[in-house]
Chains A and B, each alone.
Chain A
């Protein structure tokens, strides 16, 4: 049971499923809230890019960079693996094309065969346009829903939104957040790492959805 909970916690299931109890907090702030992580603020894209490389090289795993726009090459600076999204989209495309073929075959050649210009009932050629269109439709849905799903969205509440400074990540500021759930997390070391990487401001982010009873 404990091992299963551990796996679920590592997957972050307690964030999504109310049935999974949250793990005991590793760090608690003075106010009695679970610590979500430590956030460093940067002024420029260059600074945050350099900082991301340092955090990656320091061996952290549960951390993220928040930027108002996608920074070119950031996935390399962070060491993010290539996404599996194209596989999902390909699955969507095959589903659409195959489904369209089966639908037209069953409806037009099996359930309600109709003579049109004396052609064979199961001629596939006139089915191509609809196979193409449904293939596109299903792959578009799998692109959007797959992107959101892999990103864990929609998730309207997140500890980071409690920080007023963080709201500028959507406009003109750049942030590096190292989460307390990371195995290497040590408040002092994280703080000095962020400061030495050129952060203009460092602050604690509390997870106020998880109150700790004293």
Chain B
């Protein structure tokens, strides 16, 4: 860490004085350079194009670490049990959940909003940071977009199964039917169907478009190995060479991409425009999710602050999940720390702090408006949050979302992966409780005393939620194993030697 004040360095630069280059200390992450006269590297250790390709393709081409199979086996088992519980629910009915006459939305919709919110960080990284030309995003966008898609898969499960009769779910889509009826286009629940399915499809298209060149790289490397030698690993019984399968499968998906500059020109244009349309999309999706609540007349739901508050909360929780996935990954995979640097972790911690403050402001504003509205039902709803039987849920939420991220005001905390990891766990728990607080506490005590009740989750409630965590992690582990974990082409383009006019602007 430079002990010189940055302003002094700027002043010296303007005065024409040269500053001595910083002396590297062992264990020092060069991306943390805070001397404004030095542009910190985005990829550490001066990696060449060859090294970047070899390292990243190595994650899928070489055998995974010893940890991979046991962890995958565990998460796949959890995912399988969760799927069996979903089957049990579909066969038996939603009565296997703890829902009752008063609390008719509980864990199902909590989990839906929780997962869809997590997805938002991925789109923020791939779209909004792209528009703001934040080059550091290139190291994390691929995995964050993958996380988005897997989180939306988990999210989409819940509205699908909470209707109970899954075979009737097609009625949410405007499909001609023998009853000659159409969906109600004034219902926010229908808007939600369109918003979430559009979000999933666009995220998938965006992700796939980014993958095309990198899949072509994996194809070409497999092809090279096939041309070079007759020997290579084979599929046990069939005797087919694994590189042959790679060349064909990656080759099919790469659509014959041949790295032509004329193609790159249109590709970059399409990428930028996709980022441009994904930006309002991501903001709209969680706004529309919040309309599910905000357009009702239930005290605690009926607030205009919901759309921005939900979007900020989604980004807050989503970045925590990105960190929960990437911090272990960078420890487990060789050389991954060269790409996911401490600067990345620090930047994401800053975003968590900023969005955490927005969420805290929204919490405070809800209480203020409840008081200011003069509505006794509104006031009761918020008193009931703190003093009612669910005080512990509100307390957990407040501690995790308001108090715990405050440690990120300190630089050492933002730069310590372990601290960031622990706070991310808190934030993830807190964001789940936020949705639980909003949904269950608002409806468990309605206008009439006869409408008061409590929600008690059943083992099926808990099991299906844990099952979706298993599905999410299983899909992510498969992604780490079989697809390029980093956007190689984009990462190479931000290396200093990718500049066609020499590496100006790099170094003192």
**Chain A residues within CB distance 8 Å of chain B:** 44-46, 48-49, 52, 64-75, 77-78, 80, 83, 85-86, 89, 93, 103-104, 107-108, 111-112, 114, 116-117, 119, 126-127, 129-130, 132-134, 136-137, 139-141, 143-144, 146-148, 150-151, 153-158, 160-161, 164, 167-172
Chain B interface SS verdict (over half): helix
Given contacts A112-B182, A151-B263, A171-B217, contact A156 B251 (CB under 8 A): yes
Interface presence of B26 (CB below 8 A): no
CB <8 Å contact, B181 and A112: yes
Given contacts A71-B498, A133-B195, contact A66 B181 (CB under 8 A): no
Over the window 238-263 of chain B, the binary record of Cβ atoms lying under 8 Å from chain A Cβ atoms (1 yes, 0 no) is 00000000000001100111111111
CB <8 Å contact, B265 and A83: yes
CB <8 Å contact, A146 and B270: yes
Which one of B11-19, B114-122, B163-171, B489-497 is at the interface? B489-497
Q: In whole angstroms, how far apart are the Cα atoms of A67 and B500 in the complex? A: 12
Q: How far is the CB of A93 from chain B (nearest CB, A)?
A: 8
Q: Which of A71, A85, A148, A157 contacts B261 (CB 8 A)?
A: A71
Which of A46, A136, A153 has the most CB atoms of chain B within a 10 A radius of its CB? A136
Contacts of A141 on B, CB cut-off 8 Å? 205
Interface presence of B373 (CB below 8 A): no
Q: In whole angstroms, how far apart are the Cα atoms of A49 and B502 in the complex? A: 11
Q: How many residues of B contact A (CB 8 A)?
A: 71
Q: Which of A72, A104, A133 contacts B493 (CB 8 A)?
A: A72
Interface presence of B53 (CB below 8 A): yes
Q: Which of B48, B53, B273 contacts A143 (CB 8 A)?
A: B273
**Chain B residues within CB distance 8 Å of chain A:** 48-50, 53, 174, 180-186, 188, 190-191, 194-195, 198, 201-202, 205-206, 208-209, 213, 216-217, 219-221, 223-224, 227, 251-252, 255-270, 273-274, 277-278, 280-281, 284, 288, 291, 488-490, 492-493, 497-502
Given contacts A85-B266, A112-B180, A144-B205, contact A133 B198 (CB under 8 A): yes
CB <8 Å contact, B500 and A71: yes
Contacts of B493 on A, CB cut-off 8 Å? 69-72
Q: How far is the CB of A146 from chain B (nearest CB, A)?
A: 7
Q: In whole angstroms, how far apart are the Cα atoms of A191 and B224 in the complex? A: 26
Q: In whole angstroms, how far apart are the Cα atoms of A52 and B201 in the complex? A: 38
